[in-house]
Amino acid sequence: MRKIHILALILGFLGLVLIGCFVFYQYNTMPVDKSSKANIEVIIPDGMSTDRIAKTLYDKGLIRNPLFFKIYLKLNNSSSLKASTYLMRKNMSLDEIVKMLEEGNSNQNDLIITFKEGNNIRDYAKIIEENTGISSTSFLETVNDQTLLTTFINEYWFLTDDILDDNIYYALEGYLFPDTYSFSKDNLTSEVIIRTLLNEEEKKLDPYKERLQNMNIHDILTLASITELEGVKDEDRKLIVGVFNNRLNLGMNLGSDVTTYYAFNEAMDSDLTSEQFNTYNPYNTRSSEMAGKLPIGPICNPSLASIEAAINPLSSDYLYFVADKNRNVYFTRSISEHNAKVQELKDNGDWIW
């Protein structure tokens, strides 16, 4: 009886181990995020080791466990992973990812370009020139082509006549969704690129279509673009939009430095001058003449998180905010509190400059 009892315990233990292994295997082969459909660029150069491939995939959030990835390759005799540039998604299973790596990028005629959140149209033009035969000047001319813009307004529900204002630098600023895209090198034109990004913008905005049609979409994207450059955390961004709304309701100027940088085409890597702050420009919300007004249009192409913040802001009684060099944001209710916080950041060496 004792031997039977011991045997039962051993079999029970082995059964638990097998169940544990099965659960572990299933968990690590499942998609990291079934709901995510965003493309993620993965570059596998010639000669990259399996260890480095595993780390690359893990760092990009595509696999759950680098060690398991290598074990999976051994179990499935998958040793020939091809060097290429891939577009992967977090809703892909491990089997799908490995199969893609084994087959390689079958269409070597594809061109993959990444447009980052917070990039403006000038940044886009530079990236396009670096990756294609399209000059930045040509792309910017297409962005502002009045005939083409009229066609776009008729095709895309979220584009309105607001973008045709002569004072706007680039008509489609804020409307070209930042993401990683795959283009065919054959007959690639500025219009093809613009349409591809507008199509993605439409996909992202469609879930909010009913609400946005009862709002001023141009104003929402303008707020989202400022918020993209002012905050990092989602909650901060929602509070920032709330602050902007409070200031607009009180007839105050927004006082956002990032709008001044855009107005004068300055890189955001140095301090601005008092003359720039005080010079009127329909983008410069530091100017007293912009009291109670939004900039004339977006100042960059915002992420979906910033667009959502502009649609669903957090209400508060804050009127001021300031960010430190680590992009932490501090909110205050009065100018005296705000100035004290700025001085505190400077005294502690946390000021942005």
Looking at every residue in the chain, the average pLDDT score rounds to 91
Rounded to whole angstroms, how far apart are CA atoms 290 and 295? 8
For residues 118 and 178, the answer to whether their CB atoms sit within 8 Å is yes
Question: Could you tell me which residues come within 8 angstroms of residue 203 by beta carbon, excluding any fewer than 6 positions away?
Answer: none
Q: In 3-state terms, what secondary structure has residue 7?
A: helix
Is residue 8 predicted with pLDDT exceeding 70? no
Question: Could you tell me which residues come within 8 angstroms of residue 69 by beta carbon, excluding any fewer than 6 positions away?
Answer: 53, 54, 57, 58, 63, 94
> What is the model's pLDDT at position 185?
86
Written as one letter, the residue type at 217 is I
* Locus of tokens 């199969």: 99
> What is the model's pLDDT at position 273?
86
Is residue 198 predicted with pLDDT exceeding 70? yes
For 259-268, how does the pLDDT look when each residue is reduced to its tens digit (9 = 90+)?
Answer: 999 999 988 8
> What is the model's pLDDT at position 321?
93
Stretch 236-243: mean pLDDT, rounded?
Answer: 97
For 41-97, how does the pLDDT look when each residue is reduced to its tens digit (9 = 90+)?
Answer: 898 887 788 999 999 999 999 999 999 999 999 888 886 888 888 889 999 999 999
Stretch 227-245: mean pLDDT, rounded?
Answer: 95
What's the pLDDT band for 37 if we cut at 50, 70, 90? confident
Beta bridge partners of 345: none
Indicate the DSSP class of residue 84: E
Q: Look up the pTM and report it.
A: 0.79
> What is the model's pLDDT at position 271?
82
Closest Cα to residue 203, out of 301, 304, 300, 113?
304
For 312-353, how does the pLDDT look when each residue is reduced to its tens digit (9 = 90+)?
Answer: 999 999 999 999 988 899 999 999 999 999 999 998 888 876
For 107-157, how does the pLDDT look when each residue is reduced to its tens digit (9 = 90+)?
Answer: 566 788 999 999 999 999 999 999 998 999 999 999 999 999 999 999 999
For residue 98, what are the CA distances in angstroms to 46, 48, 59, 199, 347? 17, 15, 16, 29, 52
